[in-house]
Amino acid sequence: MAVVMDGAAVRDEIVASVRETIEGLGITVCLATVLVGDDRPSQIYVRNKHKMAEAAGMVSRHVQLDATISQADLEAEVAALADDPGVHGILVQLPLPGNLDAERVLDLVPPDKDVDGLTEASMGRLVRDRRGLVPCTPLGVVRLLQRYRVPTEGRRAVVVGRSSLVGLPLSLLLARRGIDATVTLAHSRSQDLAGICRDADIIIAAAGQAKMITAEFVSPGAAVIDVGISRTEAGIVGDVDFEGVEPIAGWITPMPGGTGPMTIACLLENTLTAAQIQRER
């Protein structure tokens, strides 16, 4: 029987610790969000982020913009937040509607305020192993492994999925000094994925393929982390067949309640880090 990694509980610990640090230092930390249009799920995500920021003792600011806004006006809004010393973290909720160019907007977010860790500059810092802000979902996976003391040093980790949002940055984080895993980055062209996963001590599934990681992918005692989210007729399911894998694995994340809450926790951790980096510069 695997240890079930409770992402919601670890999120609450991180929120409490961020709050303690902010109160201890007596600083104001401000997270700004930008939402274009009235997409319902995006509105809910943004509202949750504000609620959690408040719970972590932060101030938050929201810029709501009409879906018909021009590229130039959107860029002006983001540039104003970039220049505002009272704003420490900027999050532009993606995807942007219509023909707005997200890349050009993200280019305006300074790396020290890039709490999503998605800009070219932040990715460059990650690759160069320089201090900076790293994408929240990959960071959340690492924090879960650390919190549950899953051994990583010298262990074999497979990341399934190579996107620049999740899989690729996660593979870089896992290979970093201090984590020291031996990383395999798998994708849809990988041959014998089940065999590759069976050789691994840690499997991280970020492919968005419902329940693709079955018991035959997992060797006894492995840690299995589920990042994938698929909307099916049976509701939201992850990439891992939890019922089949849980009796074999050493650790496993539930879905929901695993990596999802950790993503938002790491957004708050990043916002605090952003404020500290800005104070030191």
Interface positions with ligand NDP (CB under 6 A): 137, 160-163, 165-167, 186-190, 193, 206-209, 212, 227-230, 259-260, 263
39 catalytically annotated:
no
43 catalytically annotated:
no
Nearer CB in complex with ligand NDP: 81/117:
117
208: CB partners within 8 A, 6+ apart: 161, 228, 229, 230, 239
Q: In the complex, what is the shortest distance from the CB of residue 13 to ligand NDP, in angstroms, rounded to a whole number?
A: 17
174 near 195, Cβ under 8 Å? no
Sequence-ordered strand ranges (E) for the chain: 3-4, 30-36, 59-65, 89-92, 156-160, 182-186, 202-205, 223-226, 230-232, 235-237, 251-252
Nearer CB in complex with ligand NDP: 152/184:
184
Q: Which of 93, 112, 113, 239 is catalytic?
A: 93
Nearer CB in complex with ligand NDP: 108/206:
206
Residue 154 three-state SS: coil
Nearer CB in complex with ligand NDP: 208/244:
208
| N residues, the chain | 281
Q: Which of 6, 112, 116, 226 is catalytic?
A: 116
d(C-alpha 171, C-alpha 162), whole Å: 8
Residue with tokens 């650790």: 251
Q: In the complex, what is the shortest distance from the CB of residue 264 to ligand NDP, in angstroms, rounded to a whole number?
A: 8
The order of strands in the sheet holding 251-252 is 3-4, 251-252, 223-226, 202-205, 156-160, 182-186
Query: Which candidate, 257, 274, 264, 273, places its Cα nearest to that of 93?
Result: 264
Nearer CB in complex with ligand NDP: 125/162:
162
Q: In the complex, what is the shortest distance from the CB of residue 85 to ligand NDP, in angstroms, rounded to a whole number?
A: 30
Nearer CB in complex with ligand NDP: 123/227:
227
Q: Which of 6, 49, 211, 241 is catalytic?
A: 49
Q: In the complex, what is the shortest distance from the CB of residue 115 to ligand NDP, in angstroms, rounded to a whole number?
A: 14
199 catalytically annotated:
no
d(C-alpha 108, C-alpha 253), whole Å: 35
Q: In the complex, what is the shortest distance from the CB of residue 255 to ligand NDP, in angstroms, rounded to a whole number?
A: 8
Q: Determine the residue with CB nearest ligand NDP.
A: 208
Residue 273 CB-half CA count within 13 A: 20
Q: In the complex, what is the shortest distance from the CB of residue 261 to ligand NDP, in angstroms, rounded to a whole number?
A: 8
Report the run of H or E that residue 172 belongs to, with start and end: helix 167-175
Beta bridge partners of 184: 158
Structure tokens of 80?
């104003």
Q: Which residues does the annotation mark as catalytic?
A: 49, 93, 116
